[in-house]
A and B are shown apart, each in its own frame.
Chain A
Amino acid sequence: AQKITQTQPGMFVQEKEAVTLDCTYDTSDPSYGLFWYKQPSSGEMIFLIYQGSYDQQNATEGRYSLNFQKARKSANLVISASQLGDSAMYFCAMSRAFFGNEKLTFGTGTRLTIIP
């Protein structure tokens, strides 16, 4: 069984600062995919970034980067130069399939609030 742990229920960050959202995972599968989603107050889940378990380099997508440490089983999301629109719930998730084409297991999320 797969498990995702997000230990930060809420975070407050000053606008324009960088923020790191923690995520640790547990799985016995040799290959897997890790995802981060953003859920604004409107409720829709928005895909941010993906990391495959065999990827050698950390994933980056614009202001988002994933700090993947396989030995520690962690997949932290880093948001650089935070903006007011980044205020939302953030969920870490994993898939059994390397490419992510199966069910996702989500963590409990971190509520990020950006302070002007």
Chain B
Amino acid sequence: DTGVSQNPRHKITKRGQNVTFRCDPISEHNRLYWYRQTLGQGPEFLTYFQNEAQLEKSRLLSDRFSAERPKGSFSTLEIQRTEQGDSAMYLCASSSRLSGGSYNEQFFGPGTRLTVL
């Protein structure tokens, strides 16, 4: 299967610890997105990359959050000094720019569920 993959699928950590998530997009996709989804809500945008360049960051992304996509392939999302409010599903998506006027849906991974105790 060549869909978007995310690791780990589940992460339980204690408040104050650092965590890192990884996302592997579909191989030919040049755009990669991170979203956060809390219980009962729709996904909220965090940040996105075009190749290795981080093009936009949400105000939701505090100084404790950092994302990288060093070689324009996989991406990591790190949360430092986790807080209980960081407990959520972290979703990664990727898309490619197609020619000819076609639309570009985002393909989502299965997500990483973070629980901060």
Residues of A whose CB lies within 8 Å of any CB of B are: 4, 33, 35, 37, 42-47, 50, 52, 91, 93, 98-109
Contact = CB atoms under 8 A, between A and B. Distances in A.
Given A43-B89, A93-B42, A104 B106 contact: yes
* Count class of interface residues, chain B: 20 to 34
B104 A100 contact: yes
Contacts of A43: 89, 110-111, 113
B14 interface: no
B104 A105 contact: no
A99 B93 contact: no
B65 interface: no
Contact of B102 (A47, A91, A99, A106): A99
Contact of A100 (B42, B43, B103, B109): B103
Contacts, number: 65
A6 B48 CA distance: 25
A66 to B, nearest CB: 12
A101 B42 contact: no
B23 to A, nearest CB: 13
A108 B106 contact: no
Given A44-B109, A106-B42, A106-B43, A99 B91 contact: no
